Structure 1
């Protein structure tokens, strides 16, 4: 018997829409990462990008537990002395809600070229509208926990 390995031309990519309103950030990000990685498919192959496209709506309505809104910080550095900048989760959600979900999912994907390629298939929008109606995305129902 020979092991089946799908070719790049045989990969079928679907589009999914996820509504992030009222969902827990970490649980939502892990489910999105599984879909982007392609682990939900029976033909999953670790060295290939098998995943589907994911559209995330209502990013500004994401929820977190505990006191993370004020205690969780995102850091960046300008590479100059004293150039460390930080922004709290509360401010990040108010200014750039799409980055919160992107950073959470990025941390759950491989830190390689393959992971960056997978991340490009995720589209995050702060509101309820998206410009991908032509792809006829399926609604991915995630139970509220």
Structure 2
């Protein structure tokens, strides 16, 4: 039996919506990274771009476990003295999209394909998103935070 290699005509990019309300950050990131890479499809190949579009809504209502509210998220501009650190608690109020995007980016492979796959990630702090004409499917993450129960 020969190894299946998907052709460009075989690749489809579906749309999924994930509601991040009371979902633990790591569980959300692993599920979203799997969808972005296209590992949920039977035609998955690591070198082919068979990923999906993922829309994450309610990023401001995500659950952070442990002592992550006091932890810092670092970012470097690439310039001398360009190290910037932000507290997760402050970011949850100001820019919750950055928390989710950084967690998902860390779970993608470190290669050229990850930039293309990360461009298909759309994160919104609220419940509304402008991608309704694409008719995205709901993707349910069944396990929510224990503190939310």
Kindly indicate whether the alpha-carbon contact (under 8 Å) linking 1:22 and 1:144 is maintained by their aligned counterparts in 2: no
1:76 Cα offset (Å):
2.7
Q: TM-score, normalised by structure 2?
A: 0.90
2:64 is the counterpart of 1:69: no
> What residue in structure 1 maps to residue 110 of structure 2?
111
CA shift, 1:9, in A, is: 2.0
Alignment match, 1:48: 48
What is the aligned-residue RMSD (CA, Å)?
1.3
Structure 2 unaligned regions, length at least 5? 145-149
CA distance 1:122–1:77, shift in 2 (3 Å)? closer
State TM-score, norm by structure 1.
Answer: 0.93
Q: Does the alignment pair 1:135 with 2:112?
A: no
Deviation at 1:5, TM superposition (A): 1.1
How many residue pairs get aligned? The number is 143
* Cα shift readout 1:51-73 (whole Å, capped 9, x = no counterpart): 11110000000011111101x21
Structure 1 Cα separation of the partners of residues 83 and 41 of structure 2: 41
Runs of 4+ in structure 1 deviating by more than 6 angstroms, as ranges, are: none
Give the gaps of 5 or more residues in structure 1.
Answer: none
